[in-house]
Amino acid sequence: MTARKLAAGNWKMNGLAADLAEVEALAKAHPSPAVDVLICPPATLIAPMCTRIAGSAIAVGGQDCHAVEKGAHTGDISAQMLADAGATNVILGHSERRTDHYETDASVRLKTQAAWSADLVAIVCIGETLGEREDGETLDIVGGQLAGSLPDGCTAANTVVAYEPVWAIGTGKVPTLDQIAEVHDFLRARLEERFGAEGAGIPLLYGGSVKPSNADEIFGVSNVDGALVGGASLKAADFGGIIEALERAE
């Protein structure tokens, strides 16, 4: 089984209604992309974004969800609410959530199950800090996060894994191609070991200062099936360049 190619944009806590013009421009510039394209805006923009690009090839996702369907959880949003707003995917376990909100592998695993219950594709994020890499612990850290964050039942249809070295997110620093290959090859082997043929088809995204100028070389690395892009996904021209690079890698 071959993993599908995915260019996913994480707008994080950026974007107002006026910024929907960027995703409209992206949809017009890439009406029939040869790869899957996803934008994950703030929750306030999910429904209006879905309306503005209805009928386009771009999917819309959320950036987090609660582990339960409903209840007394002020300020949270459930997977069912995301789906009701038009989302098809949700990012889970991003390092900013793990750091700022003290999320654990166990909580990410529960959220992943919640996403599946709402028919959302879970994009599960893992990655090491700079200190962990310098101590030679990278594979131990990402292997542990992978095992702890993914529930049984992962398939190529319901799960995406994103490797984002924490020290490369938004810093302009990018691991060497050999470092990216080492982690992605390791993750693919672990996925195949645990999930068999389905593990071979689960997309593995790289994230961390991806931009049009380095996308071609990153997408040429083994077992890199796409990218989870932060700042460069906010502008149609920049994200469009990344989409084109992924299409060239097909």
pLDDT by residue (tens digit) across 106-159? 999 999 999 999 999 999 999 999 999 999 999 999 999 999 999 999 999 999
Amino acid at 174: V
Q: Residue 175: is its pLDDT beyond 80? A: yes
Which tens digits make up the pLDDT trace of 208-235?
Answer: 989 999 999 999 999 999 999 999 999 9
CB atoms inside a 10 Å sphere around CB 110:
17
What pLDDT, on a 0 to 100 scale, did the predictor assign at position 49?
98
184 is a domain residue = yes
1 is a domain residue = no
Q: Residue 84: is its pLDDT beyond 90? A: yes
148 is a domain residue = yes
- pLDDT tier for residue 173 given thresholds of 50, 70 and 90: confident
What pLDDT, on a 0 to 100 scale, did the predictor assign at position 250?
73
143 is a domain residue = yes
Q: What percent of the chain has pLDDT over 70?
A: 100
133 is a domain residue = yes
C-alpha 227/C-alpha 206 separation (Å) is 5
Helices (H), 53-119: 79-85, 95-100, 105-117
C-alpha 132/C-alpha 111 separation (Å) is 25
Please state the domain count of the chain.
Answer: 1
- pLDDT tier for residue 172 given thresholds of 50, 70 and 90: confident
What pLDDT, on a 0 to 100 scale, did the predictor assign at position 41?
98
DSSP three-state, residue 8: strand
Which tens digits make up the pLDDT trace of 20-56?
Answer: 999 999 999 999 999 999 999 999 999 999 999 999 9
Catalytically annotated residues:
94, 164
What pLDDT, on a 0 to 100 scale, did the predictor assign at position 169?
83
Using left for φ > 0, alpha for ψ between -120 and 50, and beta otherwise, residue 215 falls in alpha
CATH number at residue 109: 3.20.20.70
Domain of 110 in residue numbering reads as 6-248
- pLDDT tier for residue 170 given thresholds of 50, 70 and 90: confident
103 is a domain residue = yes
